[in-house]
Structures are given as C-alpha cells and as structure tokens.
Amino acid sequence: MPSTIPALDEHADSILSHSWHDLQLLSESPHPYGSRANDKVHDYILQRVRSIVGHENAKINATVDEDMRPYLFRQDDVFDSSLPSGRVLYYESNNILVKVPGSDPSLPGVLVSAHYDSVPTAYGTTDDGAGIASMLGMLEAILHNNNDNTLPLRTIVFNFNNNEEFGLLGAESFFEHHWSKEVEFFVNLEGAGAGGRAVLFRGTDLSVVKHFASSRAPHGNSILQHGFDSRLINSETDYKIYSRNGLRGLDIAFYTPRNIYHTKDDSIQGISKEALYHMYGNALDSTLSLANAAEDSLDNCDRVVYFDILGRYFYVLSLPILFQMDIILLLLFPAITISL
C-alpha cells in the first residue's frame, strides 16, 4: 500500500481490528442470495449491528430496522437495457437498516450502503465483504468515538443490503422503506477487484465529489466514470439505483486486479488490512463531511472531472467550466501565435 495512507491512531486501530475480524468471518464461504450461507452472514451482521448500537460506549441512540418484508415493484433489467421494460418483481427483502439521527432532521440525510451477498462462484471478500466490514467500522466510529457527544448535522442511514448480484434488488427495495424519504445523498461501497486502494468509481456532481476530496487518502479518476457510462466496464453497482432515484453521491470500490472479479480468488488471501483501512477511512471521512455539510456546500450539481496525482493530490473540476476554459484557450492560441 502507498505511504500516503495515514498512520492509525489508537481508536482507529481498535476499530480496524474489529472490521478485519468481521471480514474473516464474512469470507468463510460463498453466500449468494437465498442460500443458507447468506442467512448465516445476515444473522452475523445483525448481531454485530445490535452489539455496536447497544454497547455501553455508544454515545448516540441509533435505531435498527430488520427490513424483513416482501415487496412488489417495477424494475427494468439493470444489466441489459435492450430487454423489454416494465417488468414487475416480487422480492423478499432482508436488508438491515440503521438510522443515526442528525441534529437537524429538516436537512436531507446521507445513505451509506454495501451489499452482503456474493456470487455463487466467489467468497465475496471484496465484492462486497470489505464494504460491509467498513460499514460496521464506520458505525462503531460514529457511535463510540464521539467524544463530545454531538450528533451529526444530518441523519445517516446505513443499508446493509442483500441481493445486489442478481439485479441490485437490495438497493431497489430500499426505496420502499420510509427511511428512504429522509436521505438525499449516498456513499456506496463496492468491489470489482481486490486489495490495493479503493477508488472513486463515480460521483454524481461537483459538490459531492468535493466532499470525497476531503477524505484522508482520496484516490480516483473520472475516466472510470466514462468507462461505466460508455459500458466499457461491463458491470453495475447499486450506484445506478441510488442515482436513478434522484440521490446524489459517490461510488467507492476496489478495482484491481480485475481478473479475480467474481472468481474463487476473491477471498481473504487477496486483500490486506491496509486496503480495508483505505476503504474504511475514505468512506468514513466522506460520509461525515457530507453529514455535517452546510446547504451552500452542496448547491453545485455540475458534472465533474476529478483525478489524483501519485495518491497525494486530488483535483476536482467542473466539467462545464473546463469546457469554457478549453474554448477560451482555443480562441486565444491563434491570436497569441500571430502576435509572436
């Protein structure tokens, strides 16, 4: 891992140890939706969530909702847009939701999401066990390491969702839950590779990406966003569902090596504790930055260009302004050349 990742303090080291242990247990076997192994993972996450929320160190009263409900909803095929539209799905949800109240409930909140199912062919360590382990660490950090007992400005909702792999259904069913009306921003955690640094795959707009830029070790390039938009990257994440339903946010994911994606090599042997800390740290920082943001820091919805240099400097630019600068330079260049 690069040296740009900050050293761990005592609290972060303790939380990371818990999250690393969580990831070991989440990675014991493939656990696709509908399997007994998936039920076991669900029960483990629920037990951990209740333990964190009910712990004596918890300084904020969070609410847990085990979303065990059947839903009927319309959803076009999320992987193949050429298929007929308007299909109706019956889905039995078992998402695990946690709500951390904000001090100003009139402000739209922040959703944090990852999925706990795997494909049948993989252990699901990075897709998406690391996202789930990071969320458990984030929940612990927000509830237990809040030394001044202050609430975040905005409500934070955690969605430990199920059945992403077979149609992004855990994210879709979230919008049938009444807590979905309380959020307007999101941080989605995913895995399309293993180990290394977690990258900002996509961001909806300039303002939200600026909040990612404030994280401890931001890494990303908007070329990846273009790859998704042009279908050069042939996969999808829950980002599609959240953004399609009007939320603004971030898609943070592991991306290399891509060749282990959805294979048996997506296992605990392919990821390091440092990689998990990179995802956890950036996700926590981005979430808290959004959750404590004033309204005027979120009012720019321009499309965005972003990139980092050597993992040390992260730049965020408005795409419309960048186009305007290009046009000005194209107009000025001939005049400058003639004058010379």
- What is the C-alpha separation between 107 and 320, in angstroms, rounded? 28
Please answer whether residues 20 and 273 qualify as being in contact, where contact means their C-beta atoms are separated by less than 8 angstroms.
yes
- What is the C-alpha separation between 326 and 332, in angstroms, rounded? 10
Give the other-Cβ count within 10 Å of 10's Cβ: 7
Structure tokens at 169: 């259904």
176 labelled catalytic: no
Do the strands 109-115 and 88-100 form a parallel or antiparallel pair, or are they unpaired? unpaired
- Catalytic-role residue among 140, 164, 172, 190: 164
- Residue 305 makes CB contacts below 8 A (sequence gap 6+) with 222, 316, 317, 318, 319, 322
Per the listing, tokens 């998990």 go with 276
**Nearest of 160, 139, 134 to residue 41 by alpha carbon:** 160
**Could you tell me how many residues make up the chain?**
340
- What is the C-alpha separation between 156 and 173, in angstroms, rounded? 18
* Residues that are catalytic: 164
